């Protein structure tokens, strides 16, 4: 796409919205945990949770090379551990690996998959199988997904660290320092108690699960596994239009605010490329999958060794 080449002027127009939004999110987060919480704990809690959702979406933008070319400078912008649960560097590394995986949803190669090897699924106890099936409904993913995902993520990182991956330990240490900044704020200038912040961070994680719930499906052809959600409402903005996920996978370097236009200009082509895996809105997704599983947990097209 010719429009993806950027002059210095276009570069600034592309990146200024990200910088402005990041500054606004920090301000709203600070207000939500301090002044607004003191005036109305419910409003303060809600604003804090939404700010954490937006911050996580901005971390996703940063790991794809926005707003600066410097990887360290970008990381510094999102160093604070507002999300609590996932180290930025681990998010960055696993997400980049996800983008490089030609067989999306593979139970072993794709670090962001929720599918299991059918043999591994068969070895699970029935209570765990029921829990995983519930996690494949939207309601289950929002309520239980943060716990299930975090436990699996931490277990995987512990295994990698024990195997000698020093980068894992560094990522968690840096994340711990970022979380300390959050705790220092709450203990000094903030008014929100720690228990409320933990609940806000958990709620934010649950909202983010709405986005990731349908991002990839089990399909024989890998190109047909990535979704397009044609929503332009509040959730789409909170997710920085990553709901147009097939577009993002094809053009991961495109700035978030340009994704809707890129999609609009090539809508028919994108829909054909992803095999018609399209939803009109998040309202449609909620109606269809709130209590109905989206896919089986064991990957129906998994073939060992392929």
> What's the mean pLDDT when you consider all of the chain?
93
What pLDDT does 9 receive? 53
Enumerate the β-bridge partners of residue 226.
Answer: 216
pLDDT tens digit sequence for 209-262: 999 999 999 888 889 999 999 999 999 999 999 999 999 999 999 999 999 999
In this predicted structure, the answer to whether residue 2 has a pLDDT above a threshold of 70 is no
Tell me what pLDDT residue 245 has.
97
**pLDDT at res. 142:** 98
Cβ contacts of residue 174 below 8 Å, gap of 6+? 79, 87, 88, 89
The torsion angles phi and psi of 278, rounded to 5 degrees, stand at -135, 140
- Give the Cα separation of 202 and 85 in Å (integer): 9
Report pLDDT for 3: 43
The pLDDT confidence band at residue 1, using thresholds 50, 70 and 90, is very low
Query: Is pLDDT at 199 greater than 90 in this prediction?
Result: yes
Question: Does pLDDT of 10 surpass 80?
Answer: no
Residue 102 in tokens: 């030609």
Residue 196 has pLDDT above 60, yes or no: yes
Residue 301 confidence (pLDDT): 85
Q: Which residue has the tokens 């998994």?
A: 302
pLDDT of 267 higher than 50: yes
22-36 pLDDT tens trace: 999 999 999 999 999
């Amino acid at each position: 796409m010719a429009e993806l080449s950027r002059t210095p002027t276009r570069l600034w127009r592309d990146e200024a919205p990200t910088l402005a939004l990041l500054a606004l999110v920090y301000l709203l987060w600070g207000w939500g945990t301090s002044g607004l919480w003191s005036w109305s704990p419910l409003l303060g809690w809600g604003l804090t949770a939404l700010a954490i959702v937006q911050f996580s979406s901005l971390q996703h933008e940063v790991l794809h090379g926005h707003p600066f070319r410097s990887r360290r400078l970008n990381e510094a912008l999102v160093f604070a551990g507002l999300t609590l649960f996932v180290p930025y560097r681990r998010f960055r590394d696993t997400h980049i690996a996800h983008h490089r995986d030609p067989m999306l949803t593979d139970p072993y190669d794709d670090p962001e998959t929720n599918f299991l090897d059918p043999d591994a699924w068969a070895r699970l106890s029935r209570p765990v199988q029921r829990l995983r099936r519930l996690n494949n409904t939207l309601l289950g993913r929002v309520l239980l997904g943060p716990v299930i995902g975090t436990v699996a993520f931490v277990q995987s990182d512990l295994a990698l660290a024990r195997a000698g991956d020093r980068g894992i330990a560094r990522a968690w240490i840096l994340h711990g320092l970022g979380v300390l900044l959050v705790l220092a704020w709450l203990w000094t200038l903030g008014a929100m108690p720690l228990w409320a912040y933990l609940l806000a961070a958990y709620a934010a994680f649950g909202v983010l699960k709405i986005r990731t719930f349908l991002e990839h499906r089990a399909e024989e052809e890998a190109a047909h596994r990535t979704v397009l959600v044609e929503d332009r409402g509040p959730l789409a903005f909170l997710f920085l239009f990553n709901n147009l996920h097939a577009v993002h996978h094809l053009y991961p370097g495109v700035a978030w605010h340009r994704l809707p236009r890129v999609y609009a200009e090539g809508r028919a082509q994108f829909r054909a490329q992803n095999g018609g895996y399209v939803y009109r809105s998040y309202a449609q997704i909620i109606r269809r999958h709130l209590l109905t599983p989206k896919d089986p947990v064991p990957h129906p097209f998994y073939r060992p060794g392929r």
